[in-house]
Amino acid sequence: MLETEALKSLYEKHCKHGFQYIYGTAGFRYKADVLDTVMFTTGVLAGLRSLYLNGQTVGVMVTASHNPPEDNGVKIVEPRGEMLEQSWEKYATELANCASQSYSSFETKLQELVVTLKVDTKKSGGIVVARDSRESGPHLVSAFKAGAQVLPTVKIIDYGILTTPQLHFLTSKTNELPEGAEIGEQLYYQELLSAWDQVTDLCGIKSLPFHLQIDAANGIGGPKVMEMLSQSDFFSGAYEVVNADWQTYAALNHLCGADFVKTNQKLPHGISSSGNQAANQISCSFDGDADRIVFYYCDAMGHFRLLDGDKMATLFAKFFQDLLHQAGLQDAIEMVAVQTAYANGSSTHHLEKVLGATVKCTSTGVKHLHHEAVKSDIGIYFEANGHGTVIFSTKFVDTVNQRLAASTQDISKSHKALQLLKLFTKLINQTVGDAISDMLAVLAVLSILNWTPQKWDQEYTDLPNRLLKVSVPDRTLFKTTNAERQLVSPAGLQQKIDVLVSKFDKARSFVRASGTEDAVRVYAEAASRAQADSLASMVGTIVENS
């Protein structure tokens, strides 16, 4: 660790006083102009985490995802590509807030962490870092690197601008592959495209059955998805990317992107309803850092039809359930779908009653869903906003490989199902929700099933719902229980919500503090669009007045 004078000099250059930080569901996320201090301390903490894990490389992503351009944030990624170990979120918050108070407070907390965690600061470690396309990114990465310098034995690799899932992927590969292996974003493209080619060859798919439009939210997903698809002859002429102006900072997530489409339930800027009415047309939207995706089309009447995270979860559940039966693994492999309270009630009913799948509900935030999903052999998790993935256990991989080895010469339906199960473990980025990887996986499933967007949509009908964002003076006052479906604070507010819900058909509503913004989110669902809108508005009003 640096000598006191050098440490103090870096601290004084990068840290400001007077701001309180919280490591939320997606790390630290605030207006960019208050992030210098927390970027510095995150550099320190990421180095400590690497040393604590005996030198394994950890990842750091500087992003604010779907938030407005003036926001930014940072999160730490575990060596296998997962979110930061939850017990360390407290350390990240404490170190940042001590630095926000004074140098002596910061130094004391740092020394305390080193002792408490028994970190050998003389060992070697590693950090890989990347950022999204926000204007504040370069400055904040500099503050982060200054913090990492506090531990000189920790080596930093800066990958520049990446999507969040690419950073998770490269973090995992850095720890998985032998030293000296060539690791970079090209490895990401090669792995996904190789899996795609093998899936399409196995299933005799020569071309996409529909034209694809990609709304890239004017974020970094635009150039990255174009870079990848340009390397594949299969996709030549089969797609177009709109809202790909990632270098105009103010355009990021503006009137476009997954959050805009999901929240407003309408087409983004740049995509018209006319082309989306055709059976051979499907569109999708990424968010700013390309870790979320939603699909959509327009029906024959020109009405917008959303295919969100719930629809993706049910699509994958049906597909993998069918493959397991074809492979004779339905009794050997456990498949679970993990949802949050935001999941549409119809999707949960379809999973449980029509598909017969096991469904678990967790608190909002992919870290909670991921933690639950890894307990199963196939864990399918998607938030309704389109953030999610599918996770396959070691037992699953071993079982599939063993069955394949025993049926090498077999050309039966069972053998093909086993091959597809294995290939989808490569096509899907299991480290985190990934708009590009999820896009390919959905396109592959629809192509294999020979489904149009309309056929996918008709599997079940969503209950109309509305999601509102209500600004409040202090979001921390809103505390929940029962996987965030019930309020325990402010006192009496849940009872008022229950009274309103009882006035509508097939209704439910809940309120929770945002994990990424200074706001409270209100979700309402009912039998008709008018009822859902009315319920959301009424609940929003009582929240505002609480």
Average pLDDT of the residues in 289-316:
95
Q: For residues 523 and 510, is the Cβ–Cβ distance under 8 A?
A: yes
Tens of pLDDT, residues 35-79? 999 999 999 999 999 999 999 999 999 999 999 999 999 999 999
Q: For residues 321 and 355, is the Cβ–Cβ distance under 8 A?
A: yes
User: Is residue 516 a known part of a binding site?
Assistant: yes
CATH for 310-434+452-457 is: 3.40.120
Between CA 227 and CA 504 the distance in angstroms is: 49
Sheet of strand 508-513, all strands in order from the earlier edge strand to the far edge:
465-470, 520-525, 508-513
Catalytic site includes residue 65: yes
Catalytic residue, chosen from 50, 65, 100, 285, is 65
Above 90 in pLDDT, residue 435? yes
User: Is residue 291 a known part of a binding site?
Assistant: yes
| The predicted structure's pLDDT at residue 275 | 64
Above 70 in pLDDT, residue 409? no
Above 90 in pLDDT, residue 273? no
| The predicted structure's pLDDT at residue 25 | 81
User: Is residue 521 a known part of a binding site?
Assistant: yes
Q: For residues 387 and 296, is the Cβ–Cβ distance under 8 A?
A: no
Tens of pLDDT, residues 203-219? 999 999 999 999 999 99
| The predicted structure's pLDDT at residue 408 | 65
User: pLDDT-derived band of residue 411, with 50, 70 and 90 as boundaries?
Assistant: low
| The predicted structure's pLDDT at residue 234 | 96
| The predicted structure's pLDDT at residue 26 | 84
Q: For residues 192 and 163, is the Cβ–Cβ distance under 8 A?
A: no
Q: For residues 63 and 164, is the Cβ–Cβ distance under 8 A?
A: yes
User: pLDDT-derived band of residue 301, with 50, 70 and 90 as boundaries?
Assistant: confident
Tens of pLDDT, residues 150-190? 999 999 999 999 999 999 999 999 999 998 899 999 999 99
User: pLDDT-derived band of residue 272, with 50, 70 and 90 as boundaries?
Assistant: confident
Between CA 383 and CA 380 the distance in angstroms is: 10
| The predicted structure's pLDDT at residue 410 | 64
Tens of pLDDT, residues 108-121? 999 999 999 999 99
Q: For residues 55 and 67, is the Cβ–Cβ distance under 8 A?
A: no
User: Is residue 512 a known part of a binding site?
Assistant: yes
Quick one: 465-544 is in which CATH superfamily? Alpha-D-phosphohexomutase, C-terminal domain (3.30.310.50)
State percent of the chain over pLDDT 90.
88
| The predicted structure's pLDDT at residue 137 | 98
Q: Which residues pair with 131 in a beta bridge?
A: 62, 161
Tens of pLDDT, residues 92-110? 999 999 999 999 999 999 9
Reference 75, options 87, 91, 89, 90; nearest CA is 89
User: Is residue 529 a known part of a binding site?
Assistant: no
| The predicted structure's pLDDT at residue 265 | 87
Above 70 in pLDDT, residue 336? yes
Instruction: Give the domain 4-183 fold.
Output: Alpha-D-Glucose-1,6-Bisphosphate; Chain A, domain 3 (3.40.120)
User: Is residue 85 a known part of a binding site?
Assistant: no
Same CATH fold assignment for domains 187-305 and 465-544: no
User: pLDDT-derived band of residue 288, with 50, 70 and 90 as boundaries?
Assistant: very high
Checking phi first, is residue 206 left (phi over 0); if not, alpha (psi -120 to 50) or beta?
Answer: alpha
State the number of CA atoms in the 13 A half-sphere of 303 facing the CB: 6
| The predicted structure's pLDDT at residue 467 | 87
Average pLDDT of the residues in 327-343:
95
Tens of pLDDT, residues 468-482? 999 998 898 999 999
Element (H, E) at 109: helix 103-116
Q: For residues 50 and 126, is the Cβ–Cβ distance under 8 A?
A: yes
Helix, strand, or coil here: 248? coil
Tens of pLDDT, residues 346-384? 999 999 999 999 999 998 888 899 999 999 999 999 999
Output 497 or 4, whichever has higher pLDDT. Answer: 497
Above 80 in pLDDT, residue 278? no
Above 90 in pLDDT, residue 421? yes
State percent of the chain over pLDDT 70.
98
| The predicted structure's pLDDT at residue 507 | 95
Above 80 in pLDDT, residue 277? no
Question: Helices 164-176 and 435-449, interaxial angle, to 10°?
Answer: 90
Between CA 228 and CA 192 the distance in angstroms is: 9
User: Is residue 513 a known part of a binding site?
Assistant: yes
Domain coordinates in residue numbering, the chain: 4-183, 187-305, 310-434+452-457, 465-544
Tens of pLDDT, residues 239-267? 999 999 999 999 999 999 999 999 898 99
User: pLDDT-derived band of residue 412, with 50, 70 and 90 as boundaries?
Assistant: confident
Instruction: Give the domain 187-305 fold.
Output: Alpha-D-Glucose-1,6-Bisphosphate; Chain A, domain 3 (3.40.120)
Residue 59 tokens, joined = 């990842």
Burial of 236 (0-12, 13-18, 19+ CB in 10 A): exposed
- Per the prediction, the chain carries an average pLDDT of 95
User: Is residue 5 a known part of a binding site?
Assistant: no
| The predicted structure's pLDDT at residue 279 | 67
Above 80 in pLDDT, residue 522? yes
